[in-house]
Amino acid sequence: KGYQCEVCQRPFARSDMLTRHMRLHTGLKPYTCRICGQVFSRSDHLSTHQRTHTGEKPYRCPQCSYAACRRDMITRHLRTH
């Protein structure tokens, strides 16, 4: 049994994915940064954002000392080697 967006008819295998997708149409942003007040539609985006405040850089280059707070940044960096 699948789920479908009533706005754009996009299909989803899981109800939680449809719920997350619906925030694109409604503009709902239920996740708020407690430090700066910025709001997000997804909890993983809030988690990534919070690293800007904590300075956490969990993505490390295996070839040098570079570390990044976001996966896309380490991916871009790895192309420089």
Residues in Cβ contact with 44 at an 8 Å cutoff, skipping those fewer than 6 apart: none
| Total domains in the fold of the chain | 1
41 lies in some domain: yes
**pTM of the entire predicted model:** 0.75
Walk along the chain (81 residues) in steps of 10 and give the mean pLDDT of each run.
94 96 96 98 96 97 97 96 94
Domain of 37, CATH number, reads 3.30.160.60
Give the pLDDT confidence score for residue 78 in this predicted structure.
Answer: 97
22 lies in some domain: no
Give the pLDDT confidence score for residue 17 in this predicted structure.
Answer: 96
65 lies in some domain: yes
Q: Of 68, 65, 72, whose CA–CA distance to 55 is shortest?
A: 68
74 lies in some domain: yes
Give the pLDDT confidence score for residue 9 in this predicted structure.
Answer: 96
Residues in Cβ contact with 74 at an 8 Å cutoff, skipping those fewer than 6 apart: 59, 60, 61, 66, 67, 68
Domain that holds residue 38: 31-78
Q: Are strands 59-60 and 67-68 parallel, antiparallel or unpaired?
A: antiparallel
